[in-house]
A and B are shown apart, each in its own frame.
Chain A
Amino acid sequence: MIIELGSFALILSLMLSVAQTGLSAVGGARRSPVLAGAGQGAAIAAFVAVLVAFAALIHAFVVSDFSVANVAANSHTAKPLLYKVAGAWGSHEGSMLLWCLVLTGYGAAMAVFGDSLPPRLRAYALAVQGALGVLFLAYTVFASNPMARLLDVPVEGRSLNPLLQDPALAAHPPFLYSGYVGFSVVYSLSMAALIEGRIDAAWARWVRPWTLAAWSLLTIGITLGAFWAYYELGWGGWWFWDPVENASFMPWLIGAALLHSAIVTEKRGALPGWTAFLALAAFTFSMLGAFLVRSGVLTSVHAFAVDPTRGVLLLIMMGLAAGTGFLLFALRAPTLNPGGQFRAISRESAIVLNNILLSTATAVVLLGTLYPLIREALDGEAVSVGAPFFNLTFVPLMILAFAILPAGPLLAWKRGDARGVARRLWVVLAAAAVLGLIAYGIVQPRKALASGGLVVGFWLVGGALLELADRLKLFRVPAAESLRRSRGLPRGAWGTTLAHAGLGIFVLGASFETAWRVEAAQALSLNDSHALGAYTLTLSDVGTVEGPNYLAERGVVKVTNKAGTEICHAEPERRFYPTGAQTTSEVAICPRLLDDIYVVLGERRAGEGGKPAWLVRAYVNPWVRLIFLGPLIMALGGVVSLSDRRARLGVGRRAEEVVS
């Protein structure tokens, strides 16, 4: 009964979304508080219904109800509970339900927390959000229903791909989808404003918190995915420019551009059309990601293998949502007020330049992602686009963006003082250059480009700290005064500093790790050793262990430094999952302060004299921790900004009401 109730609830949520769309649209058009209020109620009710459906699906996974086709295909009784629960979103059908849950959740949040929005804007936004819900829920109900039942119930399930049975990946989709789908609110608010024909500073102020929330969650989601790829796939890397990785990166880039352009619209009323365009584009890229991952057009470790028919349906949905949005934009854009004027040297100009570079970078990633598909469609030739292309195209654009980044916040609105900013920043530039030169001098082998990358990283971190110091007048006024200023500083400013410094920390880690990673691979019998940079690895034992749903060979690899002191015992595993007969590598990581010693146990083979030997691959990944720490600091910056009283819609009004 529970799973059928879930099935009923899913259909109910579809119908409630239809009601939400109709009631909100008519309510907004006829200025009817009752209809608009009912639309808000329908948004909350649709979320409750999807929540019931999702809970029913999780229950089916937890109790291993293999009469549910999705459970039979993606679960197994021997799976640990965490992965049974995560199995609910580990498949295409289940993850579509998660998508719908987040989509309706944002609609409900807009209904509950949107009191500070003008009623008509809110009603139209809820109507658009409801229409998106209708599209995705209809697709889920009719084309990929996770509640579909089996008449011939198998005794056991086929289990979830072992690569996906990982804590980071259990948490990755909820964060990723909260980010992707968070842009739906921004899309809906943009559509509502375009229908109304009003895009101004107030609108930008309403849009920014949703953008911040979506972007921060997407940052965490992408970082978790990269971290999973790093320690689960066993190839030592963390980003492969895989099409599915790119699919999540494109909305992130556009979201970053939107965050900045919304500031210009909010503070100066300028760039309203461009900000609305980015708001539409951010969710369009989210939908493009969903299409790429699920249509079967891409081959990737992350992609769901789904038939092309469903892909065509997703393409139609994306065409409908994006086409309607951009058509409305094309009709309304000429009538929008261009807003405040600004000089070529100003904070607005810096942000415009940042937006141009981020948008061009997104276009480059899009081209690199779609080019293999286009070539295959045109002449049938299979090509792949990887790191060399992106290093030559994407990286230079980003270096340009990073070069101007520290200057932006130091420039005044409307008319900036370039010389004044240069005077303040030269110290940071000099310090970054000196640190880069030191790295070039002492880190072997010498690598000029990587040292240049470090200069960029130090420049970003230093620029962010200088801007903060500038705001606090650090060392220019007494410390007590700086402390007082720090207390008065809006949290949004702290968020900016954290986000920009986090970006610099990421650049430092990425430059150092990519250039100076050390790798060694050798077949080792028991008690054999091999050198890995400054370390020696000795395979001291290999035993068999039995996990809840796998058998594994576990190696014990002793890591010693040059002095012969033991640094750690790494225990990599080679796991065999009988269900599905899949073998995976479980990497062992010896964490140092910023570095990782990363050990992978390979297949057993015949070694010298017929003794068994194992291929042991190992890496020293210097500063790799910064690669994951940086984005988390960026996301923290987003959260801190979100907690700014200026971003908390309705707070100001409530406070005033209390005072009055």
Chain B
Amino acid sequence: MIAFWIAAAGLSAATAGLVLRGAARARPVDDAQTRLEPHRRRLAEVERLAIDGLLAETELKAARVEAGRGLLAAADQAESWPRDGLGPRKAVVAAIGAACVATAGLYVVLGRPELPDQPYAQRVAEWKAADPSTLEPEKIAAVLEGVAAERPKDVEPLLFLAKARAVAGDLSGAEAALRKAVRLAPKRADVWSLLGETFVMEAKGDVGADAKLAFGEALKVDPNDLRARYYLARGKIAEGDVQGGLSDWRALRASLPTTDPGYAALSQEMAQVEATGRLPSAEPAADANPQVQGMIAGMVEGLAARLAQAPDDPDGWVRLVRAYAVLGETAKRDAALARATARFKDQPKVLSALRQAADTPAQKTAPEVTKP
């Protein structure tokens, strides 16, 4: 903050110097020169045009008369500005002093000298150094973007990046990362099927042409890829081929050990389709996935734990209150809001941000879709 005030004082001094320089260079003026100048130049121009043959004789006469009249009128208007005494100089110093004081006063009201710059690269470096469990999914994705850029030939950071983006709700970003990943590893079925799954999530559960293409590529590499087989069968059911889809799911289930958690989930889903003749739900949402929900809840609790240890972090409290509000945990939201309000009761901007965060509507949870 001291550096800021030194820089601000330097800028004020430099601009004040410009004003004082203007005053110091002022000389008594006889404005006859400036008043007469345009008319003299007009006369000279008329004569030059006449010499060049660009003005007819009649026009030349008229132009001379006009310019001469102007010259006489201007001579009458001329005035002189005498040398100034000390008074105006004092007034200039007072004016520039008042401008600088008023600037500092207004800045104290409007500005935030305590807030440092927050360039993105610096923030990412801080997140990279922090405990990942305390970071929100967007921040993890930001860190992973850097890792992926540092290791452009490595597919793994891209897969982590895609997952982090999907958890953060950035499905287009996840798709972009996976498109890069399949270019790097076209022989990996899991990468293709992850891309296909992302297409399905972007299409709110529909297994569209892009998804089918991606799952098809996955099965070319590994005909047993579970994710691809699951979604392609699901696509069949959605398109009306219920028996075909169920048959594919039965084959898929047969390839799973009965102890696999996916076995039970798939059995339950098949039972629903057999009973109703259609899919139970159409929207697999990243934020509805219990794994994802668990991850988010873990992050929020990590943030709460960090704030319990280091509570002097207004941004952290605002994020915590918003996170509880989004998760619909109103009791925890209100408790966090009360603690933060008590701590930052003298900071109206923080209190306003806290109130805004508390008013964030809770997210709507989509029906759960179980995947093998």
Contact = CB atoms under 8 A, between A and B. Distances in A.
Contacts of A18: 99, 102
Interface stretch (B70-78, B248-256, B277-285, B291-299): B70-78
A584 interface: no
B203 interface: no
A3 B99 CA distance: 21
Interface stretch (B82-90, B214-222, B264-272): B82-90
A414 B96 CA distance: 51
A128 to B, nearest CB: 18
B33 A151 contact: no
B120 A41 contact: no
B22 A40 contact: yes
A488 interface: yes
Interface stretch (B12-20, B239-247, B333-341): B12-20
Nearest to B115: A149
Contact of B11 (A8, A36, A268, A484): A8
B154 interface: no
Interface stretch (B105-113, B186-194, B230-238, B362-370): B105-113
A117 B34 contact: yes
A205 B36 CA distance: 12
Contacts of A205: 38, 42
A38 B141 CA distance: 54
Contact of A65 (B28, B38, B52, B118): B118
Interface stretch (A45-53, A234-242, A454-462): A45-53
A45 B18 contact: yes
B110 A34 contact: no
B8 interface: yes
Contacts of A151: 314-315, 318, 349-350, 353
Contact of B110 (A3, A11, A66, A198): A11
A471 B54 CA distance: 7
A340 B70 CA distance: 11
B342 to A, nearest CB: 18
Interface of A: 1-5, 7-9, 11-12, 14-16, 18-19, 22-23, 26-27, 30-42, 44-46, 48-49, 52, 60, 63-67, 77, 111, 115-120, 141, 145, 149, 151-153, 155-156, 198, 200-202, 205-206, 267-269, 340, 412-414, 471, 484-485, 488-490, 544, 546, 551, 576, 578, 581, 612, 646, 652-653
Contacts of B121: 63
Given A38-B95, A646-B45, A33 B349 contact: no
A34 B138 contact: no
A38 B92 contact: yes
Nearest to B140: A155
A11 B107 contact: yes
B346 to A, nearest CB: 15
Contact of B136 (A5, A155, A544): A155
A26 B95 CA distance: 12
A489 B55 CA distance: 11
Interface residues of B, number: 102
A551 B54 contact: no
B117 A63 contact: yes
B22 A37 contact: yes
Contact of A4 (B14, B19, B111): B111
23 contacts: A4-B112, A12-B100, A16-B15, A23-B92, A31-B82, A34-B23, A37-B25, A41-B20, A41-B21, A41-B23, A42-B18, A42-B19, A44-B22, A65-B117, A66-B118, A118-B35, A119-B81, A152-B315, A205-B38, A488-B48, A551-B175, A653-B33, A653-B37
B26 A33 contact: yes
Given A36-B26, A149-B115, A581-B172, 5 more contacts: A1-B4, A4-B117, A5-B11, A11-B106, A42-B22
A201 B170 contact: no
A145 B180 CA distance: 40
A416 to B, nearest CB: 11
Nearest to B171: A578
Contacts of A45: 15-16, 18-19
Contact of A66 (B83, B120, B209): B120
B39 A1 contact: no
A15 B54 contact: no
Nearest to B96: A19
Given A15-B102, A202-B39, A546-B176, A34 B117 contact: no
Nearest to A576: B172
Given A201-B42, A202-B70, A67 B115 contact: yes
**Binding site secondary structure of chain A:** helix
B36 to A, nearest CB: 9
Given A205-B38, A488-B54, A63 B120 contact: yes
B158 interface: no
Interface in B37-56: 37-42, 44-45, 48-49, 52-54, 56
Interface string B308-335: 0000001100110010000000000000
A60 B117 contact: yes
Nearest to B145: A77
Contacts of B138: 155-156
A413 B22 contact: no
Nearest to A581: B172
Given A15-B103, A31-B79, A34-B26, A414 B62 contact: yes
Contact of B54 (A14, A63, A489, A646): A489
A74 to B, nearest CB: 14
A111 to B, nearest CB: 8
B257 interface: no
A1 B7 contact: yes
A38 to B, nearest CB: 4
Nearest to A40: B22
B3 interface: yes
A38 B19 contact: yes
Given A66-B120, A152-B318, A155-B136, A16 B115 contact: no
A30 B29 CA distance: 13
Which of A8, A9, A36 is packed against the most chain B CB atoms within 10 Å?
A: A8
Contacts of B77: 198
A552 to B, nearest CB: 12
Contact of B7 (A5, A77, A488): A5
A8 B142 CA distance: 31
